[in-house]
Structure 1
Amino acid sequence: MATPTRSTGFPPDPTIDLDGSPNLVGPKLPVPHIGIQPDTVKPWWFVAGVVLGQLGIFLGLMGPATVSIQLKATTLSADPAQQAAIVGLAVAPGALAAVLFNALGGRISDRTTGRFGRRRPWIIGGAVAMLVGLFLIAIAPGAGLMAVGWFFTQATANMAFAAFTASLADQLSRTQYGKVSGLVGIAGNLAVMVATWLSTVLGGNMLLLFMVPAVLGALMAILYALMIPEPVLKENRHPFNLVELLSTFWRNPLKYPDFALAWAGRFTIILASYMFVTFRLLYMTNHLELDAASATGAVAIGVTIYTVTSMVASLAGGWLSDKLGRRKALVAAAILIFGLATYLLLHADSVAAFYVVEAIMGIAYGAYIAVDLALVFEVLPNREEAGKDLGVFNIANALPQSLAPAFGGFLLANLGGGTNFAPLLITAGVIALIGAILTMFIRGVK
């Protein structure tokens, strides 16, 4: 078995242990140097571990966000408007947790000292702690405890996700950005699909519905954390005072405009997506007038179509962006198509039409997610603080997922009466269009 390769050719730095913390699963890999982009291509089994890590965190987090919390709401009320309000009220506090702990998770992992490395402890700790929040939601008698549980779930899962995303910037060479970004996108969509199908089997038992995917997800995330060769920071080189704490949540958009535009593009497509995804089940029961059992089955099939088409699009988009060296136009086009597909949902008058639109949305989102992360890696303001920068960027991923239920719930309950989805879907389409336009102004990436 090979031994870890000691980093050489860098100025002496007493705060860094150049031997690092080797990976505990798989053949030993070279330990990357802090702040330096690796030029060694990672092997296939490591890339498979990346997919497992993303799949695991999203399996625990996105199942509740897309299906389980809606099912929980239907057990608490039979009134459509009240169901929408319960979902919005229960999930809204998670927006604050997503913003705070995604950014904090990246910054804290940048500065974590200890023999196990910077990212590994937070990936493992966050994935395990996430189970507690999901347990609270499962046993909650009302929206209040659901809100507490979702806040804690978002806090801990986003700590893990921030460290996970930062680890990709630490570990991957530029030549792997597009391909791995595409696979990460596939894993995220696959997690939603798996969680949806699990809901068709476990939907009658709230405890199993929330905890089975969460436990499986935590195990996958832990496995990935044991596969990464971690740089070790022996001591913190920067003070962590109030100014530093506040700067965790900020990168000057005037100084780093490309990073800011990439952030805005991600925010808009995620907000547009989850304004519908959060209420997908209610869309089936109230717009297409299916009963709960038929709606759950139709959603599972729709999510499967979405996932399969997005997987194909992600592989093609990631490969094409690496081959052509062009990312911006692909990202903007994908956001635009996704927005148009969101609007088309308003005119779907059958389950078959819903499936067609799901396929279009899957192609658009798959192409987007395959290229967008690669684009972001190229416009990072400071590679030495990749955790902080990706934490700021991940706010654009986490915040809209939590804002969408509250914003969408308001539009659906107050303007749509719980059954008219026009205000929700038209707004989502316009938001996506704005994101496509903003992305085209990025100058530093072709």
Structure 2
Amino acid sequence: MTETTFIAVADGSDDPPAPIKGVGRLLGWIIPANFGIFLIWGSVPGILLPQQLTVMNASDKVANFTIVATIGAFAAMIAQPAAGQISDRTRSRFGRRAPWIVLGALAGGLSLVGLAFANTLVGVAIAWTLVQITYNFAQGPLSAVLPDRVPLARRGTFAALSGIGLMVGALGGQIIGSLFFNSIAAGYVVFAVFALAMLVLFVVFNPDYSSTNMRNESFSFGDFLRTFWVNPVKHPDFFWAFSGRLLLYTGYFGVTGFQLFILTDYLHVAKPQDVIPLLGIISIVGTIVATVVSGPLSDKIGRRKPFVFGSSIVMAAALVLPWVWPTFTSWMIMTLVMGLGFGMFQAVDTALMSQVLPSAKSFAKDLGVVNIAATLPQTLAPGIAGAIVLGFGYGALFPIGIALSILGAFCVWFIKASK
């Protein structure tokens, strides 16, 4: 099957044409590529952005962070499907994805520099919104590499490696971000340069087929707007996969994304910047162990669902600890166990998602919609958590996170395209 034919007739359950430089190179380079982007998602909304707002106005830090996080989340929700729609229709000798990966990384870096110099709530909100939009224009096309180029038999392994880059970036961002706790602007610049370098190298070392001969259907703005509605009747597997990821991610990031304020205001840790690196290392260990084992094992046995169910049970059990035993020790134990559960989930969920995509013509757009379920919780969950804390206190975060994790796994039960 040629690349052009594949785009015209295939869906997510079909094997794509072999990558130009081989699958092995893709497997290696997806780790630093995801690491570059998710280092930003781990450091900025979790550490640097709330600290920036605390320095600006400590008395209103929770409310201001809730406002900024919510605005940015809605921007991300629109940006990634839009980026996917554009990249699906892009004709260039470098393929459909490469131009947007590079341009998104470059524009994202400039937006981070703008955030570094913002000194008002309005300025921070605008700059953070631009960061969300631009980096999603890189992340959306990058996520489409999986169904575009990876054969079905290797998708669990690819998803595991992708998950390692994602989670080590998100958790490593907490560690590295804490090093810039008192020099926020410098941190923004460092993360911007690093992400640009990693994504450019990914594109250079993993060339794609030319898309200059691809035929595009006429664009319909109405059809694009309808992509935000996942039809449970027409595409039930797609709907359940989206819903499951949205719920489980929200449960996870609703707690971990609010870590800085939980440490200071709920667990009364005097210097959170001193313990966040330790927590990041603990979480990385749990995540990597679970990811490395779960992804290849799911390929070997040909099943994804048991790993999702298991991950939700592990994550729910972890969240019980700081709820009933609010100490820093319980938080450390929770961090390790949550890392194991989320690593198990992340290792197989991406492979499962790739199997429910309706058409190769719109892989990036459809993944953009699916990835709303991943990116939206990471950016919106801190805002939701802020509202919960303002209304009910920190203790209410944990039972809500438990319920969301269990409901997320329950949705996966109804997916028929995967066992």
The TM-score bracket by the shorter chain reads over 0.9
Residues 370 and 153 (structure 1), Cα distance of their counterparts in 2 relative to 1, 3 Å cut: same
Partner Cα distance (2:6, 2:58) in 1 = 66
SS at match of 1:175: helix
Whether 2:50 is the aligned partner of 1:73: answer: no
- Residue 400 of structure 1: which of 370, 374, 377 is its match? 377
Which of 420, 424, 430 does residue 403 from structure 2 map onto?
430
Q: CA deviation at 1:10?
A: 7.9
Among candidates 277, 281, 285, match of residue 308 of structure 1: 285
Name the SS for the 1:230 alignment partner.
Answer: coil
Task: Report how many residues are paired.
Answer: 416
Mean CA deviation greater in 147-156 or 57-66: 57-66
Instruction: Report Cα offsets for 1:422-446 as digits up to 9, x if no partner.
Output: 1222212211121121111222211
Structure 2 distance, partners of 1:96, 1:189, is 23
The verdict on how the C-alpha distance between 1:385 and 1:216 changes in structure 2, with shifts beyond 3 A counting, is same
Deviations 1:124-174 (A, max 9, x none): 011111112222322222322111111111111111111001122111111
Matches within 5 A, 1:248-327: 248-291=227-270, 294-327=271-304
TM-score under structure 2 length normalisation: 0.93
Query: Which moved further from structure 2: 37-46 or 163-172?
Result: 37-46
Does the CA-based 8 Å contact 1:306-1:359 persist in structure 2? yes
Cα deviation digits, residues 185-242 of structure 1 (max 9, x gap): 1111111233222223222112112221221112101111222232333254211122
In 2 relative to 1, CA 440–11 (structure 1 residues): closer, same or farther, beyond 3 Å? Answer: closer
Residue type at the aligned position of 1:184: S
SS in 2 for 1:92: helix
Separation (CA, whole Å) in 2 of partners of 1:34 and 1:54: 21
Who is 2:132 aligned against?
154
Unaligned runs of 5+ in 1: 1-6, 16-31
Distance in 2, matches of 1:8 and 1:261, equals 31
* Whole-angstrom distance in 2 between the partners of 1:147 and 1:277: 22
Question: 2:210 aligns to what SS in structure 1?
Answer: strand
Report the alpha carbon displacement of residue 251 of structure 1 after superposing the two structures with TM: 3.7
Amino acid of the residue matched to residue 193 of structure 1? L
| Kept after mapping to 1: 8 A contact 2:11/2:359 | no
The one-letter code matched in structure 1 to 2:366 is D
CA contact (8 A) 1:70 1:279 kept: no
- Matched residue, 1:163: 141
The separation in 1 between residues aligned to 2:129 and 2:113, in whole angstroms, is 12
Counterpart in the other structure of 2:43: 63
2:309 is equivalent to residue 332 of structure 1: yes
Code of the residue aligned with 1:163 in structure 2: it is P
- Over the aligned positions, Cα root-mean-square deviation in angstroms equals 2.5
Residue pair 1:195, 1:213 contacting (<8 A) in 2 also: no
- The Cα offsets for residues 341-383 of structure 1, whole Å up to 9 and x where unpaired, read as 2232223433222111101000000000000011111121113
Larger radius of gyration: 1
SS in 1 for 2:209: strand
Q: Could you tell me how far apart the structure 2 residues matched to 1:321 and 1:302 are?
A: 28
SS at 1:203 equivalent: coil
Gaps of 5+ in 2: none
Q: Is 1:243 matched up with 2:222? A: yes
Confirm or deny: 8 A CA contact 1:74 1:83 kept in the other structure.
yes
State the partner residue of 1:227: 205
One-letter code of the match for 1:158? N
CA distance in 2, matches of 1:295, 1:288: 10
Give the Cα–Cα distance (whole angstroms) in 1 for the partners of residues 13 and 82 of structure 2. Answer: 19
Q: Which residue identity lines up with residue 430 of structure 1 in the other structure?
A: A
SS at match of 1:359: helix
8 Å contact 1:193–1:300 — kept in the other structure?
Answer: no
Q: Using a 3 Å threshold, how does the CA distance of structure 1 residues 50 and 407 change in structure 2: closer, same or farther?
A: same
Identity %: 29
Residues of 2 paired with 1:191 and 1:10: CA distance? Answer: 34
Which TM-score applies when normalising by structure 1? 0.87
Separation in 2 of the partners of 1:125 and 1:34?
Answer: 26
Structure 1 residues 97, 229: CA separation in 2 closer, same or farther (over 3 Å shift)? same
What are the within-5 Å matches in structure 2 for residues 367-406 of structure 1?
367-406=344-383
Structure whose residues are more often helix by fraction: 2
Name the structure 2 match of 1:444: 417
Deviation at 1:310, TM superposition (A): 0.5
- The answer to whether the 8 Å contact 1:34/1:231 transfers is no
Indicate how the Cα distance of structure 1 residues 308 and 413 shifts in structure 2: closer, same or farther if over 3 A, else same: same
The answer (yes or no) to whether the contact 1:181–1:374 under 8 Å persists in 2 is yes
